[in-house]
Structure 1
Amino acid sequence: MVMRTVNDLYLGTVKLGVAEYGFSSRQENILEPVDFLNAAGELGMKYFDTAPRYGNSEEILGQFIQQTKITPQIATKVEGLQPNDQNSPKKIEESVRNSLQRLKIKHLEICYLHQSDLNIISDPSIQAGLRQVKKLGLCRQIGVSVYDEPECRYAVESGMFDVVQLPVNVFDSSLYHQFVQPEKKGIRFIARSLLLQGLVGNRDQITTKIAESEPILNYIEQLDTLANQHNYSTVDMALMFVFNLERINQFIIGTTNIENLKHDISCLGKAFPKSLFEQLSNLSKSKKSWADPRVWTK
C-alpha cells in the first residue's frame, strides 16, 4: 500500500467555472465557490489546478487567495498557440501574466501547455516561451497535459518538461504503464481523470451522452463485480486503485461538493488488497479508445 497525504492532491477547479463539465452523480455546488475553496483549505488542500478555459475559475481562485491564510500553489495553462509562430513567447508570457493578475499571485507552481498536439509541444518558439516564463520567475515548473502515446512519449523523452499530466484511471492506465517509469527521474507525473470525468459514479447519462456506450457499460459491470466481492463501492475502489500507483506524484480530483471532497481524501489512507490492485492493473493497462472523452460525442 502506498502512503498518501492530502498534499498528494490537486483540486481541479474546472467545475467552478464550467458547471456542466463531465458527469455529476453526486450533488454539487452546495456552497458558494469561494466558501467551498475555504472549506477545502481547512481540509488541508493547498494545490489547485485551473485554466483560462475553465470559465471564471481563475477569478474565483483569486478571490479565495485574497482572503485565505494558507499559501495556495496554483497550476494553470496556456493555449491558443500555433506552430511556427515567432510570436509564441510573447503570447505565452501575456497569457501567464493575465492569469497571475486574475489569480492575485506573483508566480505559478506549474505552467502547462493546454494543447497536446505534437506539433505544438515540440515547437521551438513555444518551448522558448515556456523557458522564458520560468526564467522570469513567473512559474516554478513547466509542464504539458497529454492524451495520447506520441505526445506522452515526446514529453517524457524530450527533457523539456518538469511535469507531465496524463489521464490515469481504472478504465485505462496504459500511459502510466508505458511511460511512467522509475528511470524518468526529474519528471513529476500528475494524474487526472481519476474517475473518467465522474463516469464511474454516474451511469444514467452514459447511453444518452456517449456514442460507444456498450463497452463502457460492460466494463463498469466488471468493476461492480470486483468491488462487491471486496465490499467496496466502485467509486472508492477506483480511487484507491489510482492512489496506489506508486510512480504518480500527485493526483487531480474534481468536485465542488465538500462532503465528496472529504470522502475522496479519506480514500488516501484506506487499505487496498494487493490482489485486487493487480487485477485492476491487468484490466486497465491496455489502451481503450472508448475511455477518451474526446470521442464520446453522440
Structure 2
Amino acid sequence: MSSLTDSNRLVLGTVQLGMSYGIANTSGKPNQSLADEIVSKAWQGGIREFDTAQIYGESEIILGKSLQNLGLSDKAKIISKPSPEQSLLGKGTVELLIRESLERLKIKSFYGFMLHKEDQLSEWDEGLGEQLQKVQADGLAEYIGVSVYSTEKALQALNTEGIDIIQVPSNILDRRFERAGVFEKAAQLGKTLYVRSVFLQGLFFMPLENLPKHMIFASPFIQAVTKLASDNGLSIHELALKYAAQAYPHAKILVGAELPEQITENMEAWLGDGPEDLVNQVRHIFDSVPEKVINPVLWK
C-alpha cells in the first residue's frame, strides 16, 4: 500500500514558470535555465505530473522546453487547460486548441485536459462533451476534466459521465469542498481530485508587515496558522502539506515554485507523517472562516 506522502501524489503547478504569480511571489517569472532547474528538481524528487494552462503566460512553451532539455518529453505526465476566454462550442475547436498546446509543449498527447472555466460544464450536453470525448478517443488526452471554484460545480462534474479528473481549491482555511462531501463522493466514484491552493496562493507565508492594507482582514488567520504550526513543531510548509496529505488521502496535491529550493522545501515538508490529530486540530480552530479570506477573487 502506498504512503499518504508518496511523492507521486504531488503535482508541479507551472503557472510560476510562465508569469509572476502569487501574493508572496518576490522572484518573478524564472528564465529558461532556472525553469529547467525547477523541473529537474521536481523530477528528481519523484514528481511525475505537471499542471499548466494556455492562460498561464508562457508556461506551456517554457515547460515544453524544459522537458525537452531534460529528456523528459515522453516521460512526464502533462495536464493543460484551454483559455477560459475561448469559446469551445465551434466544431473542431477543442481539437485545434489541444493540438496548439501540444505543439507548444512539444509532446504527443496529454495525460489530462481540463476545462479551465467551470461555467462551461453547462455546455457539456451542447456538444462540448462530445468534442472532448472525441479527442480522448483519438488519443490526444488520456483523461478529461475540469477546474472548478465552487462546490456546486464540483458535484456537477462528479456526476457528469465522461469527466475523470477535477481540480478544486482546498487548504487549512478553505474547507468548503470537504464539508460538501466532494472528496468522499470522488472516492466512491473512482474519480481523481487535484487539490490546488494548499498554501492559499502564498498567503500563509506573508509576513504581517508586508500584508497589503486592503488585506489586513486576513492577519488574524495568518497569525492563527503560524501559531498552529509552531504548537505542533512544524513549519507552515509542513503544516499545510501534512494537513493536505491527511485530509485528502485519495487526491493529488498541486505545489508551485519560482525557485528550485522551493521544490526541495516542499518535498521535505511533504515527506513523513504529521501529528495524528492534525486534521481534528484544524477543523476545530478554523471551523468558520469568512469567504473574503479564502477566495482570492475577493482580495482585489
Asked if TM exceeds 0.5, the reply is yes
Deviations 1:1-50 (A, max 9, x none): 9622221111111011112x112367564962223322332233221100
Residue number in structure 2 paired with 1:294: 297
| Closer/same/farther in 2, CA of residues 283 and 122 from structure 1, 3 Å limit | farther
Q: 2:270 aligns with which of 258, 268, 271?
A: 268
Q: Matched residue of 1:270: which SS?
A: coil
Determine if the alignment matches structure 1 residue 207 to structure 2 residue 221: no
Residue number in structure 1 paired with 2:78: 74
* Range 239-248 or range 94-103, more displaced: 239-248
Is the 8 Å Cα contact of residues 52 and 80 (structure 2) preserved in structure 1? yes
Q: How does 1:102-121 map to 2 (within 5 A)?
A: 102-117=104-119, 120=122
Cα distance in 1 between the residues matched to 2:10 and 2:289 = 25
Determine if the alignment matches structure 1 residue 197 to structure 2 residue 201: yes
| Closer/same/farther in 2, CA of residues 136 and 118 from structure 1, 3 Å limit | closer
Q: How does 1:144-183 map to 2 (within 5 A)?
A: 144-178=146-180, 179-181=182-184
Residue number in structure 2 paired with 1:100: 102
Gaps spanning 5+ residues in structure 1: where? none
Q: Give 1 or 2: higher helix fraction.
A: 2
Given residue 267 of structure 2, which amino acid in structure 1 is its aligned partner? I
Given residue 207 of structure 1, which amino acid in structure 2 is its aligned partner? P
Larger relative contact order, structure 1 or 2 (CA cutoff 8 Å, min sep 6): 1
Residue number in structure 1 paired with 2:36: 34
Given residue 153 of structure 1, which amino acid in structure 2 is its aligned partner? L
Gaps spanning 5+ residues in structure 2: where? none
* Range 40-49 or range 3-12, more displaced: 40-49
Is the 8 Å Cα contact of residues 112 and 141 (structure 2) preserved in structure 1? yes
Distance apart, 1:288 and its partner CA? 3.8
Deviations 1:58-82 (A, max 9, x none): 1111112223234111000013344
* Range 232-241 or range 46-55, more displaced: 232-241
Is the 8 Å Cα contact of residues 166 and 191 (structure 1) preserved in structure 2? yes
| Closer/same/farther in 2, CA of residues 103 and 171 from structure 1, 3 Å limit | same
Given residue 140 of structure 2, which amino acid in structure 1 is its aligned partner? L
Distance apart, 1:296 and its partner CA? 1.0
Distance apart, 1:266 and its partner CA? 1.4
Q: Matched residue of 1:142: which SS?
A: strand
Quick one: percent identity of the two aligned structures? Answer: 26
Given residue 264 of structure 1, which amino acid in structure 2 is its aligned partner? N
Is the 8 Å Cα contact of residues 34 and 259 (structure 2) preserved in structure 1? no
| Closer/same/farther in 2, CA of residues 199 and 55 from structure 1, 3 Å limit | same
| Closer/same/farther in 2, CA of residues 258 and 107 from structure 1, 3 Å limit | same
Residue number in structure 2 paired with 1:12: 13
Given residue 23 of structure 2, which amino acid in structure 1 is its aligned partner? F
Deviations 1:221-262 (A, max 9, x none): 222222222222223212211121244421110112111111
CA RMSD of aligned residues (A): 2.4
Is the 8 Å Cα contact of residues 22 and 201 (structure 2) preserved in structure 1? yes
Cα distance in 2 between the residues matched to 1:149 and 1:40 = 30
Count of aligned residue pairs for this structure pair: 290
Distance apart, 1:206 and its partner CA? 3.2
Distance apart, 1:284 and its partner CA? 4.6
Deviations 1:189-239 (A, max 9, x none): 1100010111111134433454xx41x211222222222222222232122
Q: Matched residue of 1:253: which SS?
A: strand
Q: 1:184 aligns with which of 163, 182, 188?
A: 188
Q: Matched residue of 1:66: which SS?
A: helix
